[in-house]
Amino acid sequence: MKKRDIPLFFAALQAANPEPKTELEYQSHFELLAAVLLSAQATDVSVNKATRVLFPQARTPQAMLELGLDRLQEAIQSIGLYRTKARNLLATCQILVDRYGGDIPRTREELEQLPGVGRKTANVVLNVAFGEPTMAVDTHIFRVGNRTGLAPGKTPLEVERGLLARVPNEYAVHAHHWLILLGRYVCQARKPRCEECLVSQWCDWGQQQRHPKVSAPSTQSPAHSPDR
């Protein structure tokens, strides 16, 4: 993707969806953190189904600790890796109570010290809860970054750094959501829906479909999979 086309690419996404939101359901920063932690290698739909049962029972770290491991596992057993996630969530809740008075830390370093919280999860919390212009590279953003030519990279971290360098400041806060939604519903893995795409005219893959002699960018899986 040419540098001059990047503002046009994001302007089109913004015009279609001025205030993009996460599809995870939550009512507090703690519930957001818990939902994102549970969403690793799971769909937002499956997480929302579980948290609709879980969160009314435990809306704070202390309440989650009081709920206990068995009841927590029962509430989230429909989510993949639920046993490990339950242990990590309770360990995180204990740290939040002991170190932060039940609040959520606001730095990446502190967030990444919480059990079950990786770089992607920390980036989501920083962006959604605190409005920081982070790029949480999941499988959708990894694919879109490479396929469009916006931020090619062999690993999620390379794509993240490419996005931070190339996304114009005025679009940076919402860019991560626009790209996730684009990858989830339009720029899909097996068959991208280019004919329905609002930004295909600026995309390397879209250009390749119009001019087949131009080789398409790689959409290979990352060497180190994102934590979702």
| Catalytic positions | 120, 138
Give the separation between CA 192 and CA 12, rounded to whole angstroms: 18
Q: What are phi and psi of 39, to 5 degrees?
A: -85, -5
CA dihedral over 83, 85, 86, 88, signed as positive or negative: positive
> In sequence order, what are the residues at sequence separation of 6 or more whose Cβ sits closer than 8 angstroms to the Cβ of residue 188?
none
Amino acid at 218: S
Structure tokens of 140? 């959708």
The rounded distance, in Å, linking the Cα atoms of 42 and 58 is 21
Q: In this structure, what DSSP letter does residue 112 have?
A: H
CA-CA distance, 198 to 202, in Å (whole number)? 9
Structure tokens at 35: 């939902």
